[in-house]
Chains A and B, each alone.
Chain A
């Protein structure tokens, strides 16, 4: 996968060049590329003086970061306790069938990524389905795919 190194430089330019800024930089990479490209991490490590092993440690620790490209739309299904009881499994089934993707997978056309997450702190609206940054609550099985397509 080829990435635009100018974008990497741009992101590094606008952030402070100190170890404490590493997470912010990685977040910017994630937003820009929808994953963390290796050359970008290497550059950040050099410029911010954070050992590469530590950059990788952070990159693999947080779920918000991904090491493989994610799709344009990231579909997250909450399977926390409340959502689980409210039938998150059924919602997931609908989405797996509708997109032909299993949790953790991304479609070949890079349009969709499906992820299962733990409690997102919105239990009152369980079951919760998140499409990119939009939270959908009290989702019904027959609505799930519609929400995925519309955002």
Chain B
């Protein structure tokens, strides 16, 4: 256990966990767009910056991305200094220029007093903030079906050759992790379409609800050794079955007790 001071308050934290996790646990509102527990932090969006110092630093301070800075005993952290507010404001102003149509960015910018970007707004662009959460989660899943293509202003996240991504299994992780919701997909008539690729959907044998794509189920069965019965029913029906079983057990236990 380490002891750190956040905004004047001494708190306990685990040595080595990232500062952002502690800050979030305390309910302190520090914006963070590119961080997610399922992927390694990369510090792309820079919004989560906080100020750190130590008594022996004799007044010397620095700003670090809290999603990438591990807890050390004795650290003194400030999350809302005037300098940080200014930095976040500039960052959100830039993000708003890049994604003027993103409701999330609009809202976040608004909170920092940016009602309109002071840069030239990229009205025609999509809302991608280039945080790479999608490519990172795809890599974690062992697929790496999509990646950054081109560079500089022309950079986009896309499948190779702009075609249907061969390695994609339609798991939807990229679309779901995307903070600004820019990856479109559709589930219709038993078919999922994402990155222009079509996938057969596996549905619950009891209620007919969509579970996963056939390719994703096969992948999990083969590579992660998940039993295939797992993909016969949906989570809700599994819970129901479990409740029934448990109910039976409780009634039985009651009978025995009597």
Contact = CB atoms under 8 A, between A and B. Distances in A.
Interface of A: 38, 51-57, 60-61
B195 to A, nearest CB: 11
Given A56-B149, A57-B149, 4 more contacts: A52-B160, A52-B166, A53-B167, A57-B147
B150 A55 contact: no
B188 interface: no
Contacts, number: 35
A38 B147 CA distance: 17
Interface residues of B, number: 17
A53 B145 contact: yes
Contacts of A61: 148, 150-151
B150 A56 contact: no
A38 B162 CA distance: 12
A105 B229 CA distance: 56
Contacts of B57: none
Contact of A55 (B145, B148, B160): B160
Nearest to A52: B160
Interface in B156-201: 159-161, 165-167
Contact of B146 (A38, A53, A55, A60): A53
A68 to B, nearest CB: 12
Residue among A54, A55, A57 with most chain B CB within 10 A: A57
B44 interface: no
B221 to A, nearest CB: 22
Contacts of B145: 51, 53
B161 A38 contact: yes
Interface of B: 135, 139, 143-151, 159-161, 165-167
Nearest to B166: A52
Residue among B143, B146, B159, B161 with most chain A CB within 10 A: B161
16 contacts: A38-B161, A51-B143, A53-B144, A53-B145, A53-B146, A53-B147, A54-B144, A56-B149, A56-B161, A57-B148, A57-B149, A60-B149, A60-B150, A60-B151, A61-B148, A61-B150
A137 B14 CA distance: 61
Contacts of B148: 57, 61
Nearest to B146: A53
B150 A53 contact: no
A25 B203 CA distance: 44
Nearest to A62: B151
A53 B151 contact: no
B151 A56 contact: no
B171 to A, nearest CB: 15
B197 to A, nearest CB: 13
A124 B148 CA distance: 36
Contacts of A53: 135, 144-147, 159-160, 165, 167
Contacts of B139: 51
A61 B156 CA distance: 11
Nearest to A45: B160
A48 to B, nearest CB: 13
Nearest to A50: B144
B167 A52 contact: yes
Nearest to A57: B147
Contacts of B165: 53
A49 B212 CA distance: 27
A122 to B, nearest CB: 22
A28 B119 CA distance: 42
Given A38-B161, A56-B160, A56-B161, A51 B149 contact: no
